[in-house]
Structure 1
Amino acid sequence: MKQEGALASADFEGVGSIMEAQWSRVLDRLKAEFDEGVYNSWFKPLALVNVEEGCAVMAAPTNFMRNWLESNYADRIRRAWKQENPEVTDISIIVLSAFKASEAASTDTSGLLDNDEREERETGGPATPAARPSVPTRASRAAVVQEPGNDYGAPLDRRFTFDSFVVGKSNELAYAAARRVAENTAVNFNPLFLHGGVGLGKTHLMHAIAWTHKEMFPDRRVVYLSAEQFMYQFISSIRFKDTMAFKQKFRSVDLLMIDDLQFIANKDSTQEEFFHTFNALIDHHRQVVISADRSPTDLEGIEERIRSRLGWGLVADIHPTDYELRLGILQQKANSVPEVEIQTEVLEFLAKRITSNVRELEGALNRMVAHATLIGRPITLEMTQEVLQDLLRANDRRVTIDEIQRRVADYFNIRLSDLLSSRRARQVARPRQIAMYLSKQMTSKSLPEIGRQFGGRDHTTVMHAVKRIEELRRTDSVLEEDLLHLERIFST
């Protein structure tokens, strides 16, 4: 059965049996190279439109999928085609409504965008097409139309369900709220705002909400996507003079979930559209779920009117994991690979030593399982220490910039939002410089990365802060005492 929103090459009259056979073998090559999840998410929905003048033209269901393929897999698809048919030297990926693009591509819409969005517009988004544009044939133009009811969001990961989510004190509120939204068509809090650090389970919960809601209410329309994808689709709608379709598709959903909202910080045009989309959905009693790396009040670069509305519903914080939760996650993961025996002392050791986030914890276990299956060695404590020595060494003093910011703000009794703001008052500026200095000393992040996490500041600002604190530390005994106290906090 053809998936809703997907195309088949047979939908295009210009595709002959020889080209169809070649395309089938190209897909076989890609399927053999990539794992099943990648293949099903990105290559299987593609359809062959035509092969003409050495260029293979394929159709993707959405703009986002087209952009992602061109950014990440264009070279590999091109090589697969050339291996199958040496006359094919180029590829072009179009979208279902691509025949409209050639009529609107020359229209200048840059005046509607802010600087960051204008750059995406002028370079063709995050994935500047590697292949030359191709105009579909007459037959394909008749077939390339947007199917009604198609989801415009990102693919969902089947591993991310409520059953596979391990609940502990640090995430129990977020989990309970997520289940309430997933299992009901209306709840008494809207929006649901999830926030926490990297790798703590925000995306897992959002995928779980989508899967459960789709299964319980198959007639309701559910869309999950990242804020980055939302922005790129918005830019694309402006470029192709299709903003009304964009508004209609996002304001007609029953459950909209947007991940990593902090991405649209300082992107004024996208924030304007998000604001109106959010209001339209709330006014029509449609559920909205948002996630970010910090609470609404601490989202620097997000308009105040948006931050205030994000706090209307329920704000649920996902705290860093404790030992019991980490051990539970590892035990569940170990149970999913019964062919490999993992000693309890190994799981306990990993839960104690790897404390940064769940992704790194699961990654460590995956490395152990892979090593055991490929080399044939049993997973023991000694083998764990040997295989993971680099990871364990890094975690011995792992401190995140988020943690530094929170600790410094608490120590100097200022708000975290002030620390990340543009305020230059001494009572804020000096703690900010100290936090930048500690971030440079205690993390492996580069100066530009540190600057981005301090409200999008330039790397020269961070460099100046580090140099200034180093100078003052040698002459200011009070500052030296403050720094020693903070460093002791992070070392415990």
Structure 2
Amino acid sequence: MPQELDAAPEAWSRVCAALQSQLGHDAFQNWIEPLVFVGCEHGALQLTAPTSFIGTWVSRNYGDTIRQLFCKNGIAVSRIEFGVAPAGAPRPAAVRVVSPEPRPAALAPEVDLPASPLDGRCTFDNFVVGKPNELAHAAARRVAEGVIEGGSVTFNPLFLYGGVGLGKTHLMHAIAWEVRQQNPEARVLYLSAEQFMYRFVSALRFKEMHGFKEMFRSVDMLMVDDVQFISGKDSTQEEFFHTFNALIEQQKQIVISADRAPGEIDGMEERIRSRLQWGLVVDLHPTDYELRLGILQAKAEAQLEKNPGVTIGAGVMEFLAHRISSNVRVLEGALNRLFAYASLVGQPIDLDMTQECLADILRASERKVTIDEILRKVADHYNLRMSDLLSARRARQVARPRQVAMFLAKTLTSRSLPDIGRRFGGRDHTTVIHAVRKIEELRATDSQIAEDVELLRRMLEA
């Protein structure tokens, strides 16, 4: 077998990592992530794309870059051949992206956002507010005002949590931008929990713990994104705990984000969970139809200013807001792709073109509900914690909602019974069968259960 056949899959993984770094999250997600590596032989790189348009766009705009990156990885690619995945065909498992090893971060004396650059689009002015996120938006604005004025801390910490693409990172960037613009003297440090860990490990390795502590404890506001990343990492949690306490004692602001509530982050020390709940904990709920439509209209206006020759037909925005409900990033990526296609081929954006251009996204969006979403909605409805539903507790006030959640997981997702059982605290599939049958019986005899199940189903499918 030629050497290039052995090395090509790993090379493609590294090329993807480099492209993700060069192109940025949005462009990578829109154009590179949908591609599937097939093979590389005799100088021909073979990929499949969801649509012929995506393959053509990648070839024209990124073909040279991809060939150069393969060359850097020791494989000569003279041409790229794109096939189109048949409609409805199962997508092969994604190639794992091998990111380059993180370099030890220099512990620079300045603390003005040294780790993570801010996205200039993520400001308060560009944040579309609706019922699912209005509390989080108001709290973020209040925190920014407090840091700008240098007065007493209102909520400390501010803890924002929710699923992917609901606006957590946007609000954190917006807080940092507002503070930087209104009070340039304020010392603000924004970074991900992963970067916090890398800086900590680097400080230990190079015996720079004094500089590390000085950097993190001399700021006016510390912002840590995706704090769930440090769960299970004891040494990093220990340093985070001491940093947290030091800043609280100095009346300095802390803003934290995660994908779940503090009490639901497995592997997080109890003392840290407790401190994360000291201030204000805000859940960013999944977007509703009205909010998605508002976001689309705002983004479309900005796109139309940059592409004055493009027109949008009636019903397109409403169609997208209805069909793509997973998260805002997917929604924005779909709109960006439509404008790119329209400007490339010189056609108006109508419903037919939308369905053709976004065929892969629309197929993926048909499965709207996940077990995590079901657990969250059921827990909220019955005023429980997600951890209660996953626990071994058998009290009726916990067991019945757990059975409702299992019933919804069976009827609204394509997960198998064993998969559902494992997701519900490692239970056997027979427990799921019993729960489904029990709720089916109760729906016919208990009007309250029937009403609860119907309400939750509508909320999850909205």
Query: TM-score, structure 2 length as denominator?
Result: 0.66
Distance 1:282 1:237 in 2: 23
**Is 1:211 aligned with 2:177?**
yes
Secondary structure of 2:185's counterpart equals: coil
Partner of 2:141: 179
Secondary structure of 2:159's counterpart equals: strand
Partner of 1:378: 348
Partner of 1:164: 126
Could you tell me how far 1:378 is from its partner in structure 2?
1.3
Distance 2:422 2:247 in 1: 31
Distance 1:445 1:243 in 2: 47
Partner of 1:148: 109
Distance 2:300 2:343 in 1: 14
Could you tell me how far 1:470 is from its partner in structure 2?
3.6
> What per-residue deviation string (whole Å, max 9, x for no partner) do you get for residues 259-296 of structure 1?
11222223332222211111100111111101122333
Cα 1:413–1:224, aligned 2, differ >3 Å: closer, same or farther? closer
**Is 1:309 aligned with 2:275?**
yes
CA contact (8 A) 1:333 1:362 kept: yes
1:151-300 matches, within 5 Å, as 151-183=113-145, 184=148, 185-186=150-151, 187-300=153-266
CA contact (8 A) 2:123 2:174 kept: yes
Partner of 1:332: 298
CA contact (8 A) 1:197 1:402 kept: no
Aligned match for 2:388, one of 415, 418, 422: 418
1:28-107 matches, within 5 Å, as 34-35=22-23
- Name the amino acid aligned to 1:302: M
Distance 1:80 1:446 in 2: 43
> What per-residue deviation string (whole Å, max 9, x for no partner) do you get for residues 213-267 of structure 1?
1122222221111112222222232233332322221111111101112222233
- Name the amino acid aligned to 2:130: G
Distance 1:210 1:79 in 2: 40
CA contact (8 A) 2:442 2:450 kept: yes
Partner of 1:123: none
Could you tell me how far 1:395 is from its partner in structure 2?
3.2
CA contact (8 A) 2:107 2:211 kept: no
Could you tell me how far 1:476 is from its partner in structure 2?
9.1
> What per-residue deviation string (whole Å, max 9, x for no partner) do you get for residues 324-355 of structure 1?
22111111111112212223421122122222
CA contact (8 A) 2:407 2:436 kept: no
Paired-residue identity, %:
57
Cα 1:472–1:192, aligned 2, differ >3 Å: closer, same or farther? closer
- Name the amino acid aligned to 1:252: S
- Name the amino acid aligned to 1:341: T
Could you tell me how far 1:192 is from its partner in structure 2?
1.2
> What per-residue deviation string (whole Å, max 9, x for no partner) do you get for residues 336-394 of structure 1?
12212223421122122222221121122122112212233210122223333443344
Cα 1:328–1:221, aligned 2, differ >3 Å: closer, same or farther? same
CA contact (8 A) 1:434 1:469 kept: no
- Name the amino acid aligned to 1:490: R
Secondary structure of 2:315's counterpart equals: helix
- Name the amino acid aligned to 1:297: G
- Name the amino acid aligned to 2:457: F
CA contact (8 A) 1:251 1:280 kept: yes
Cα 1:218–1:413, aligned 2, differ >3 Å: closer, same or farther? closer
Structure 2 gap segments, 5+ residues each: 1-17, 28-64, 76-97
Number of residue pairs the alignment of both structures matches: 367
Cα 1:485–1:175, aligned 2, differ >3 Å: closer, same or farther? closer
Secondary structure of 1:238's counterpart equals: helix
Distance 2:358 2:388 in 1: 39
Could you tell me how far 1:426 is from its partner in structure 2?
6.8
- Name the amino acid aligned to 1:243: M
- Name the amino acid aligned to 1:278: F
Cα 1:474–1:438, aligned 2, differ >3 Å: closer, same or farther? closer
Partner of 1:346: 316
Could you tell me how far 1:35 is from its partner in structure 2?
4.2
**Is 1:490 aligned with 2:451?**
no
Distance 1:293 1:228 in 2: 14
Cα 1:477–1:301, aligned 2, differ >3 Å: closer, same or farther? same
Query: TM-score, structure 1 length as denominator?
Result: 0.63
Distance 1:484 1:310 in 2: 35
> What per-residue deviation string (whole Å, max 9, x for no partner) do you get for residues 107-144 of structure 1?
xxxxxxxxxxxxxxxxxxx967499x9xxxxxxxxxx9
Secondary structure of 1:288's counterpart equals: strand
Cα 1:77–1:230, aligned 2, differ >3 Å: closer, same or farther? farther
Partner of 2:370: 400
CA contact (8 A) 2:163 2:260 kept: yes
Could you tell me how far 1:203 is from its partner in structure 2?
0.3
Distance 1:382 1:411 in 2: 39
Aligned match for 1:355, one of 311, 321, 325: 325
Could you tell me how far 1:437 is from its partner in structure 2?
7.6
Secondary structure of 1:258's counterpart equals: strand
Q: What is the RMSD computed on CA atoms of the aligned residues?
A: 4.1
Secondary structure of 1:309's counterpart equals: helix
Partner of 1:465: 428
Secondary structure of 2:303's counterpart equals: coil
Secondary structure of 1:336's counterpart equals: helix
Could you tell me how far 1:168 is from its partner in structure 2?
1.6
Distance 2:155 2:319 in 1: 40
CA contact (8 A) 1:299 1:417 kept: no
> What per-residue deviation string (whole Å, max 9, x for no partner) do you get for residues 153-188 of structure 1?
212111111111111222122112212222323332
CA contact (8 A) 1:227 1:263 kept: yes
- Name the amino acid aligned to 1:240: F
CA contact (8 A) 1:423 1:429 kept: no
> What per-residue deviation string (whole Å, max 9, x for no partner) do you get for residues 4-25 of structure 1?
xxxxxxxxxxxxxxxxxxxxxx
Aligned match for 2:287, one of 318, 321, 330: 321
Cα 1:315–1:348, aligned 2, differ >3 Å: closer, same or farther? same
Cα 1:449–1:371, aligned 2, differ >3 Å: closer, same or farther? farther
